[in-house]
Amino acid sequence: MSKKTSVLYYIPEDGDEADHPNVMTLDKNASQVTLKDIREAFPIPGTYYFRFKRTFKNSWIWFDVTEDSEVVPKFDGLIFVKATRLPASAAPKKSKPSVKKPASRPKPTKPAKQEPKKELEEDFLHNIEMPSSTPEFVEPQQPEIDFFSPASNTSNTPVNNDVFGEYDFPTAKPVDPWDAIKI
């Protein structure tokens, strides 16, 4: 007869606390419990990501088991699980056998080869007139000034721009303290 194993678990999204976990039992020895066993026996419907508490040096860590066939780690002789509920869109998709549908349309026939019309292309390119200068109706535009960019400060005066760009206070020029020392 196999030994029953208690699995302690909590779901943080449900307001569960690690100090007061829920318990489920498995009809399997603790040293043989796999991730697949946990998934199949988990009492709350949904898709979950499971992390297992594991001893590490003088403390503990949350250990990720990703393969269904992996044996899950124990902590102080118990299996302790933190379950994270995944959205329905993250559920693994079961592959459906692909069924090939017969083509309902006939295959298109190849059109007869036509000689390229190079003469027309060459004439077109040679007859294009490019303007010699900018037309009179186009006015040169001033570049927009970005008040939040230090590069937009064209004067040598340091400026303190506030976050909203409403105030523009001149600030004192930086002073090098070494300039005051004369040797």
> What residue ranges define each of the domains in the chain, with the CATH number in brackets?
5-90 (2.40.240.130)
Other C-beta atoms closer than 10 Å to the C-beta of 152 total: 13
138-155 pLDDT, tens digit per residue, is 566 665 655 555 555 555
Which string of DSSP letters, residue by residue, matches the chain? Answer: -PPPEEEEEE-GGGT-BTTB-EEEEESS-GGG-BHHHHHHH-SS-SEEEEEEEEEETTEEEEEE---TTSBPP-BTTBEEEEEEEEPGGGSPPPPPPP-PPPP-SPPPPPPPP----HHHHHHHHHTPPPPSS--TTPPPPPPPP-TT-GGG--SSS-EEE-TTS--EEE-PPP--GGGG---
Structure tokens at 77: 């002789």
Q: What is the mean pLDDT of residues 125-133?
A: 59
Q: For residues 38 and 72, is the Cβ–Cβ distance under 8 A? A: yes
Per DSSP bridges, beta strands 79-86 and 5-10 are parallel
Task: Answer whether 0.95 is exceeded by the pTM.
Answer: no
**pLDDT band, residue 20 (cuts 50/70/90):** very high
CA–CA separation, 50 and 47 (whole Å) = 10
Rounded mean pLDDT of the chain? 75
Is residue 172 pLDDT above 70, yes or no?
no
- Confidence class of residue 89 from pLDDT cuts 50, 70 and 90? confident
Q: What percent of the chain has pLDDT over 90?
A: 36
Q: Residue 59 CA to chain centroid, in angstroms?
A: 31
Site of tokens 């009179």: 136
